[in-house]
Amino acid sequence: MRITDGLSQNQFLTSIQALESSLSQTQNEISSNQSFSTPSQNPIGAGEVNDYNQALAQSQQFDTNANSAKTNLTTEDTALTNLQSQLQSLRSLALEANSGTASNANLSSIATQVTQIQNSLLSLANTQNGNGEYIFGGYSTQTQPFTLNATGATYNGDQGQRQVQIAAGQTVADGDNGEAVFNQIKTGNGTFTVTAGTANTPNTGTGVVGATTVSNPAAYDGQPFSIVFTSPTAYNIENGAGTVQTSGTYTSGGTIAYDGTQVTLSGAPVTNDSFAVTPSTNQSLFTTVQNLVNALQTGTSGANGKTGLSNSIATAINNIDQALAQASNVQSSVGGRLNTITTQLSASSSQQTQLQSSIASIQGLNYAAAITTLDQQNTTLSAALQAYTVTQGLSLFKYL
């Protein structure tokens, strides 16, 4: 090929420009500590890094969510612990009242203490979190959920339960509504409840209800029935329509078994005394407490005197036990959720480390390689400049 002066100039300039451009690129990589700064340098990588960054930000947000739920659940956990301790006090007071030696004056003083506990319970049920939200209001967190009324308390909240996203596809409830914690509490033993006498015809004997159990769940059909005494030592079992199903002999402290249930009765019932066995229904804790207060205030002067009081207090204790069980259930569920959150927070921490290392492996710079490249490019550029000056010095005109 014939080499002309224009040609060698052109070639020199083109190659110097290419060298300077790649040198500047390497320099840019080193100063930014990133192997690419525009998508064109690594189109697939840029898209992937963007996806990873989104996932990373989302995972970090999930942590924020989890911590927010943790705060709310911790508040609820404390409230539930207090609830259980108040219920224990309530139970002790009920037992004290049921000791049989308490006078009406004593009962009245116990009633005052129960009322105080009722107020504490109300305040617990209306607990607010750091944001001023009522934690037991369901979705209605800005409405005070419970207000006392004559028969217990009115629930102004709803049955909503707020979920918080703590991982992709995983949500955790950051609370429980007041309906579930305070209202939906089964009466009696949780399956059925035994009531002495009826409102219109109270018992006149001294028969009191003791322990009740479901001895054969398969046989229990949930139909109400009554134990009706035909003499102080004999009783009939009547179904809801008053039809006699079977009959038996009564021994004080013995158990009466029917339809898969066992009811312990003691004392001395008289003819026509009756004990109704009905399936449990939901009763608000506040109704239970109010009923207890009413019974204590009435004392032994109500229907069936001391026996009536005894039966009322026994019912209340049963219901308080159910409330305790409910509070404990909810608390263990809260504990479970707090555990889930802790597990998830540690999982997400390792996930984030993973994502960060993925991002670094795509976008991060291999310093050793980059600096070697820089050095190499620098050497090539210096050599090219040197070569130019040498070749440019060659001219025949110099020798003329």
Our finding on whether 143 is near other proteins (CB under 8 A) is yes
Q: Choose which of 3, 150, 218, 390 interacts with other proteins (CB under 8 A).
A: 3
Q: Segment contacting other proteins (CB under 8 A): 160-168, 265-273, 311-319, 326-334?
A: 160-168
Smallest CA-to-CA distance from 318 within 354, 300, 339, 291 is with 291
Q: Segment contacting other proteins (CB under 8 A): 40-48, 210-218, 267-275, 302-310?
A: 40-48
State the minimum distance, in angstroms, from the CB of residue 23 to other proteins: 16
Q: Which two tokens stand for residue 9?
A: 């100039």
State the minimum distance, in angstroms, from the CB of residue 346 to other proteins: 20
105 contacts: CB under 8 Å, gap ≥ 6: none
Closer of 5 and 199 to other proteins (Cβ): 5
Residue bearing tokens 């108040």:
86
Q: Segment contacting other proteins (CB under 8 A): 44-52, 83-91, 291-299, 372-380?
A: 44-52
Our finding on whether 281 is near other proteins (CB under 8 A) is yes
Closer of 62 and 146 to other proteins (Cβ): 62
Residue bearing tokens 């509490």:
185
Closer of 47 and 335 to other proteins (Cβ): 47
**What is the Cα–Cα distance from 192 to 206, expressed in whole angstroms?**
22
Q: Segment contacting other proteins (CB under 8 A): 99-107, 118-126, 139-147, 312-320?
A: 139-147
> Could you tell me the CA-to-CA distances from 341 to 16, 100, 166, 219 in Å, in that order?
60, 49, 7, 42
Count of other CB atoms within 10 angstroms of residue 241: 5
Count of residues binding other proteins (CB under 8 A)?
68
What is the amino acid identity at position 55? A
Count of other CB atoms within 10 angstroms of residue 273: 25
Our finding on whether 37 is near other proteins (CB under 8 A) is yes
Q: Which residues are paired to 45 by β-bridges?
A: none
Q: Choose which of 35, 59, 86, 141 interacts with other proteins (CB under 8 A).
A: 141
DSSP designation for 107:
H
User: Is 260:269 a contact under the CB 8 Å cutoff?
Assistant: no
Binding mask 68-107 for other proteins (x = CB under 8 A): xx--------------------------------------
Our finding on whether 139 is near other proteins (CB under 8 A) is yes
Our finding on whether 159 is near other proteins (CB under 8 A) is yes
State the minimum distance, in angstroms, from the CB of residue 290 to other proteins: 16
Smallest CA-to-CA distance from 360 within 30, 63, 53 is with 53
Our finding on whether 162 is near other proteins (CB under 8 A) is yes
53 contacts: CB under 8 Å, gap ≥ 6: 359
Our finding on whether 14 is near other proteins (CB under 8 A) is yes
Smallest CA-to-CA distance from 174 within 329, 326, 337 is with 337
Cα torsion at 172, 173, 174, 176 (round to 10°)?
Answer: -160
**What is the Cα–Cα distance from 338 to 73, expressed in whole angstroms?**
7
State the minimum distance, in angstroms, from the CB of residue 31 to other proteins: 16
Q: Which two tokens stand for residue 284?
A: 């608000």
State the minimum distance, in angstroms, from the CB of residue 336 to other proteins: 18
Our finding on whether 362 is near other proteins (CB under 8 A) is no
User: Is 259:220 a contact under the CB 8 Å cutoff?
Assistant: yes
3-class secondary structure, 194: strand
Our finding on whether 333 is near other proteins (CB under 8 A) is no
**What is the Cα–Cα distance from 176 to 330, expressed in whole angstroms?**
8
State the minimum distance, in angstroms, from the CB of residue 14 to other proteins: 5
State the minimum distance, in angstroms, from the CB of residue 329 to other proteins: 14
Closer of 86 and 141 to other proteins (Cβ): 141
Q: Segment contacting other proteins (CB under 8 A): 9-17, 95-103, 242-250, 376-384?
A: 9-17
End-to-end alpha carbon distance in the chain:
25
Our finding on whether 400 is near other proteins (CB under 8 A) is yes
Q: Which residues are paired to 258 by β-bridges?
A: 261
> Could you tell me the CA-to-CA distances from 50 to 43, 58, 168 in Å, in that order?
11, 12, 18
State the minimum distance, in angstroms, from the CB of residue 154 to other proteins: 12
Using CB under 8 A, list all residues that contact other proteins.
1-7, 10-11, 14, 36-44, 46-51, 53-54, 57-58, 61-62, 64-65, 68-69, 131-134, 137-143, 158-165, 168, 171, 179, 183-184, 279, 281-282, 284, 363, 395-397, 400
